[in-house]
Chains A and B, each alone.
Chain A
Amino acid sequence: MNEPLKIARRPEPGGDAVAGPGPELPLTELAGWGHYPVVQGCERRSEDLEDITRGAVLTRGLGRSYGDSSLPPPGRHVVAGSPLADRLLAFDAATGVVRVEAGFALMNLNRLFLSRGWFTPVSPGTHYVTIGGMVAADVHGKNHHVAGTFGEHVRSLRMRVADGRVLECSDTHERDLFRATLGGMGLTGHLLEIEFQMRRISSPWMWQESEQVPNFDAALEALQSAGRQWPYTVLWSDLVAEGSRLGRGLLMKTRWAEPDEAPATPPRWRGAPALPMFLPSWFLQPWMATIGNAVIYLKHGARPRTGIIHPETSFYPLDVLREWNRLYGRRGFTQYQAVLPGPHDHPRHRRFVDALRARGRHVFLCVIKDCGPEGKGMLSFPRPGVSYALDIPVGPQTQALVDALNDVVVAEGGRVYLAKDAFTRAEHFRAMEPRLDAWNAVRRAWDPQARLKSAQSIRLLGDDP
C-alpha cells in the first residue's frame, strides 16, 4: 500500500492544538445521515487509529448518526475518521467472543460470521455502521425487550482518553469510564478496540410473522404481547391516517429459523444500488406520506404472513437502497426518536401522538418499539417504555414540531436519542436527563480540560464552545 509521507501540518486557526489539515487537506461538507446540519470540516482517515486520534476532538465512524453527533464543534474542523481501522483482532470460535478495531463495519461482521453460526447480539436498523459507533451510541434493536442494548454485550474497550493515554476499560477495570462510554457519543474518549460477545444462531435464516393491527391502541397491545414470545419485534405505524385508522400498522415478529426450517444454502449478501444524487427538496410532499403509508398497510393484506426471510430483509430493509437519505433532498431530514415510559399507559402515548398530529402531516415513516430495562450505559437512550422513531423532512416547521414533542416527552418522563437528534434544545434535554450531571462528572474526571467535544455536545450537553 502506498503510504502517505508525513505531511507537515499547520495548527488550526484559533490556537487549536490538534493536528489540522495542511494546506493540501481541504475542508469539505460534513453532515450526519439526515444531512442536517451541514458544517465545513475535514475527516482524517487512516488505518492507524491510534495515530489520528492523538489530540483529536472527536472520532467519527460511518456517519450514520442522523444529526450533529459526529460533527466537529464550532470553530474546529477536523475529526478523526475510523472506517479504515477495520481489522479483526481476535475471535474465539468456541465462545463467540470477538475483538475488532473500532472502524470495523457491522456489514462485514455479518458477512463473515453469519454462515459460521454467529450474529451480532444487537443490531441497529442499518449495517453500514462501525462497531465503535454502535458502542458510542449504545445502539438498540428489535430485540431490546430481551437483549438490551449493544453495550450489555461489550466485554472490554480500548480507548484513547483526553490526556492522550491509551487504556483498557471494562466492568471490572475503570468501570466509571466504561459505563460513561457506552452511549457516551464518543465524548469520553476515542474508541480504538472493542471486545464483545456474539450470539449463537440456530441457522443463518429467519422466520417472520407479520400482521396488520387496526389502530394505535391495538398496536401498542399487540407489540406488548408479541414481545412475550418473540425475540425480535417491531411495529411500523401509520401516524398520518385519519380517525379510527390512526396508528394502524404492521407488526413484525421474527426469530432465527430452526435448522430444519431453513433453506439448505446460506443467504447471500447482495450489493445494493445507491441513489445517485440528491432529489430536489420539494420532491417529498405530505400527500406522499399519506399515500405511501396507506399503500404499505393495504398491500400487506388482512391475513397474517409467515415464512422464511433473509436476515438482511428483516434487519436492514432500508439498506436495499444506499444513500436513501438523498430522497429528502439537500435540505435534509431529521429522525426524531423518543422513548416514553409505561407501555400500558395509553393516554400518555396518545398525548404524544396528538402533539405530533397537531403540527401537521410531515411524518414519512414511524417505527415503534417497546424497550426493556435500562442498561449499564450512564447516558444510554433506552428505558422501559415505548420508543417512537419519526422521519421528518427538515423545513420551517421542524423546530416548532420538535419543541412541541419535547414538551410532551419532558412532561411524561421520557427522553430523546442523541444519535438521532438535531433539533432538541439544551433546556429540554436537561429536563429529560437527570443522569446528565453524573455522566458529565465522570467525563470531567477523565477530561478536565474539556478537550473532547462535538457539535452536539456544545448544543445540548452544556459544553463550552
Chain B
Amino acid sequence: MKAVVFGGTKGMGRALARLMAERGDALCLLGRDRDDMARSATDLQIRGAAGTVGVATCDLLDPSTFAPALDAAVAALGGLDAVVVTAALFATQETLERDDALRARMLAANFTNTIQFCELARQRLLAAGGAARLCVFSSVAGERARKPVLLYGAAKAGLSYYLTGLDHKFASRGLRTILVKPGFVKTGMVAGLPVPPFAGEPDAVARVVLRAIDRGTPVVYAPGIWRWIMLVIRLLPRAVMRRIEF
C-alpha cells in the first residue's frame, strides 16, 4: 500500500505509520517540522517501510501548503492508495474559552482546513486509481455535545458530518472513507489529563484502525467499547447533560 500520513510523527499517526511500515507499506509523511519528520522517517525505515520514506512540508493552519505537499507525496510514492489524516489541534475547554486566538486556530484547523485538505486528497485518490482509502481522525467528542469538550467537539462534529457525506457521495466511485472516532487514547495529546476508564493504548487503537482501512469500514470507534459508551451518552436527556461534568 502507498500511503500518505498527515501528522505521522506523533501520537496516533506515529502508531499507525509504524504498523504500516512493519508490514512493508510505502509511506510519505506530511507535517510542519522537517527535522522531526526526518527522524520519524528513519524510524519507519528501520521498521521495514518499503523504499524510502518520503517527507513533505504541510501545515494544517496554512491551506496553501496542501496541494503542493500532496502532489510531492504522490510523486515520491509513485502512486497513491491511502491518505491518513491524524493532524489536528487540541486544547482543553477552559483554555479555548479563555483564548480567542487559540479558539479561532483550533476551529480553523480541525474543521475548515481539514475539510479543505480532504477535498484535495479525495481528488488525488480517485485520480490515482489505487485502493482510494481516505482515513480521517475525528473524535467521539463530536457525537454529543459535552461540557469538557464543547468547542473541540463542535469542530469534530462538523468534520464527522462531512466525512459521512463523503462516503455517501463517492462510495460508488470507489472512494472508501474511513471515519475514525477515537475515544480517550493515551497519547501525548492528552498527556497530563486524568485518564478516564476505557482509555486505549495507541498501538491497540492503531491496529483497529488499520484493519478498518484495509477493509474500507466507513465508521470505526477505537477502542471499540466507545461505540456503546457514546450510544448511552447520545440517549441521555438534556436535563442530565446539564448536570453531569463529563
Q: Which residues of A are in contact with B by a Cβ distance under 8 Å? A: 1-5, 7-8, 21, 23-26, 28, 42-47, 81, 84, 87-91, 112
Q: List 20 A-B contacts (CB under 8 A).
A: A1-B10, A1-B88, A2-B7, A2-B137, A3-B10, A5-B89, A5-B95, A7-B95, A8-B95, A23-B94, A24-B95, A25-B193, A43-B192, A45-B188, A45-B192, A47-B9, A81-B191, A87-B40, A88-B46, A89-B39
Q: Which residue of B lies closest to A44 (CB)?
A: B192
Given A21-B192, A25-B192, A87-B39, 14 new contacts (CB under 8 A): A1-B7, A2-B7, A2-B86, A2-B87, A2-B137, A2-B187, A3-B89, A5-B91, A24-B94, A25-B193, A45-B191, A84-B188, A91-B46, A112-B46
Q: Is the CB of A47 within 8 A of B193?
A: no
Query: Which residues of chain A have C-beta atoms less than 8 A from B187's C-beta?
Result: 1-2, 84
Q: Min CB distance, B243 to chain A, in Å? A: 22
Contacts of A46 in B (CB 8 A): 188, 191
- B180-207, CB < 8 A from A: 187-194
The answer to whether A26 and B14 touch across the interface, beta carbons within 8 angstroms, is: no
**A residues within 8 A CB of B102?**
5
Q: Which residues of A contact B22 (CB under 8 A)?
A: 112
The 8 Å CB contact of A88, one of B9, B43, B86, B105, is B43
Q: Please report the number of residue pairs spanning A and B whose Cβ atoms sit closer than 8 angstroms.
A: 94
**Which chain A positions have C-beta within 8 A of B89?**
2-3, 5
* B12 in contact with A87 (CB, 8 Å): no
Interface size class of B (residues with CB under 8 A): 35 or more
For the complex, what is the distance from the CA of A364 to the CA of B39, rounded to whole Å?
45
Is there contact, CB below 8 Å, between A4 and B46?
no
With contact pairs A87-B39, A87-B43 given, residues A47 and B10 touching in the complex (Cβ less than 8 Å): yes
Residue B92 lies at the interface, judged by CB distance under 8 Å to chain A: yes
Task: Say whether B42 contacts A87, CB under 8 Å.
Answer: yes
Taken together as a complex, chains A and B put the C-alpha atoms of A457 and B10 apart, in Å, by: 33
Q: Which residues of chain B come closer than 8 Å to A28, judged between CB atoms?
A: 194
Do B90 and A5 touch across chains, with their CB atoms under 8 A apart? Answer: yes
Provide the residues of chain A in CB contact with B54, threshold 8 Å: none
Whether B90 lies near A4 (C-beta < 8 A) is: yes
Cβ contacts under 8 Å, B146 to chain A:
none
Q: Which residues of B contact A2 (CB under 8 A)?
A: 7, 11-12, 86-90, 137, 187, 189
CB of B192 within 8 A of CB of A24, answer yes
B216: interface (CB < 8 Å): no
**Residues of chain B from 8 to 25 with CB closer than 8 A to chain A in the complex:** 8-14, 22
State whether the Cβ of B227 lies closer than 8 Å to any Cβ in chain A.
no
* Residues of chain A contacted by B86 (CB below 8 angstroms): 1-2
Q: Which of B11, B89, B189, B192 has the most CB of A within 10 A?
A: B192
A88 with B42: CB separation less than 8 A: yes
Whether the Cβ atoms of A1 and B106 lie closer than 8 Å is: no
B47 part of interface (Cβ distance < 8 Å)? yes
A293, chain B: closest CB distance, angstroms: 35
Which residues of chain B in 82-103 are interfacial with respect to chain A, using CB atoms and an 8 Å cutoff?
86-92, 94-95, 102
Which of A1, A44, A91 has the most chain B CB within a 10 Å cutoff?
A1
Are A3 and B90 in touch, CB under 8 angstroms? yes
The residue of chain A having its C-beta at the shortest distance from the C-beta of B152 within the complex is: A2
Write the chain A residue with the least CB distance to B87. A1
Contact B43 A4 (CB under 8 A): no
**Complex: how many Å from CA A2 to CA B10?**
8
Q: Which residues of B contact A88 (CB under 8 A)?
A: 42-43, 46-47
Contact check, A24 vs B193: say whether CB atoms are below 8 A apart.
yes
Interface hits, B119-170 → A, CB 8 Å: 137
* Least Cβ–Cβ distance between B92 and chain A, in angstroms: 5
Distance between Cα atoms of A251 and B158 in the complex (Å): 63
Residues on B with beta carbons closer than 8 Å to the beta carbon of A91:
46
Are A90 and B95 in touch, CB under 8 angstroms?
no
List the A side residues contacting B88 at CB < 8 Å.
1-3
Residues of B within 8 A of A112 (CB): 22, 46-47
A58 to B8, CA, bound (A): 28
Question: Nearest chain A CB to B144's CB is how many angstroms away?
Answer: 19
Q: Which residues of A contact B10 (CB under 8 A)?
A: 1, 3, 47
Q: Is the CB of B47 within 8 A of A3?
A: no
Contacts of A87 in B (CB 8 A): 39-40, 42-43
Q: Mark B57-88, 1 if CB is under 8 A from A, else 0.
A: 00000000000000000000000000000111
Name the residue of chain A whose CB is nearest to the CB of B190: A4
| CB < 8 Å neighbour of B189 from A1, A21, A24, A25 | A1
State in angstroms the CA–CA spacing of A25 and B188 once bound together. Answer: 13
User: Cβ of A3: which chain B residues have Cβ within 8 Å of it?
Assistant: 10, 87-90, 189
Distance A7 CA – B192 CA, assembled complex (angstroms):
11
User: Could you say which of B43, B47, B92, B191 contacts A89, with CB atoms under 8 Å apart?
Assistant: B43
Asked whether A90 lies within 8 Å of B42 as measured between CB atoms, the reply is yes
Bound form: Cα–Cα A8–B95 in Å: 9
Q: Which residues of B contact A81 (CB under 8 A)?
A: 191
Pairwise interchain contact A1-B46, C-beta atoms closer than 8 A: no
Top 8 A-B residue pairs of the complex, sorted by shortest distance between their CB atoms: A1-B11, A1-B10, A25-B192, A87-B43, A45-B191, A2-B90, A2-B88, A2-B189
